[in-house]
Structure 1
């Protein structure tokens, strides 16, 4: 099943950090994550050109939170997104059984779930757990949960 999920998004100097937090909260609230699990970490960083960047991240560890996230995302996917996910699953699942997703930050602010290839996105890293470690079984879990 899912071991944990890490969500991460960057707030650039030109963006309101509170609005970017709202994009994460859209996923957390939609997934039914408990308030005590909604602790968003903030890290101040500097971009390549010296511009300030705030890195916002949260890690979901509770089984109910992880399954809630998967269910929420799956319910919000369009048919096109599901087809794309199935096509790209082998590339999105790495050798460490981490499934990588990118969601459109602007769409999330508008309460929508959309895939994106943009680097300005909400990234989700879904760590899949199988014993013993088995990439094919992890892929089947990903398809069951998201596709």
Structure 2
């Protein structure tokens, strides 16, 4: 098989008051292919307050159009090193929910430095890929993602 299809992709992270917003946005841009049409990438930045009243910005990026999602998936797979793929493959049942969403976290700081590393950490860029599968069951999605990552 080797390819997966997805309905949409969401990229989410937080910008703390102590962080440089431009650097965080640059880190997120690592995951967006350069040849993707700007109209296919929907950016949303909301301001909120943390537990202690500190200002926090929540960044959500969404890619919905089929062609753009395919471009993203190809680009995303190319960003994964062997360790990242192995890490995801070992934890695939934990990384896919019952609705068929595949969750991956990358270390935000390392991504900004040009080394996107899959890591389940608090300071992360979270990628959510809503996988298309038939029948839509967790097992079907896990199998499709496994084949895609092992290719």
Paired positions, count: 146
Alignment RMSD: 1.5
The reply on whether 1:9 has 2:13 as its aligned counterpart is yes
Q: Which moved more, 1:103-112 or 1:3-12?
A: 103-112
Q: Which moved more, 1:110-119 or 1:83-92?
A: 110-119
Shift of 1:66: 1.9
Normalization by structure 1: what TM-score? 0.90
Residue pair 1:71, 1:146 contacting (<8 A) in 2 also: no
Equivalence for 2:24: 20
* Moved segments of 4+, more than 6 Å: none
Aligned equivalent of 1:55, options 40, 53, 58: 58
Normalization by structure 2: what TM-score? 0.88
The answer to which structure has the higher helix fraction is: 1
Matches within 5 A, 1:90-129: 90-129=93-132
Residue pair 2:9, 2:128 contacting (<8 A) in 1 also: yes
Residue pair 2:32, 2:75 contacting (<8 A) in 1 also: no
Aligned-partner Cα distance in 2 for 1:119–1:50: 19
Shift of 1:33: 2.3
| Gaps in structure 2 of 5+ consecutive residues | none
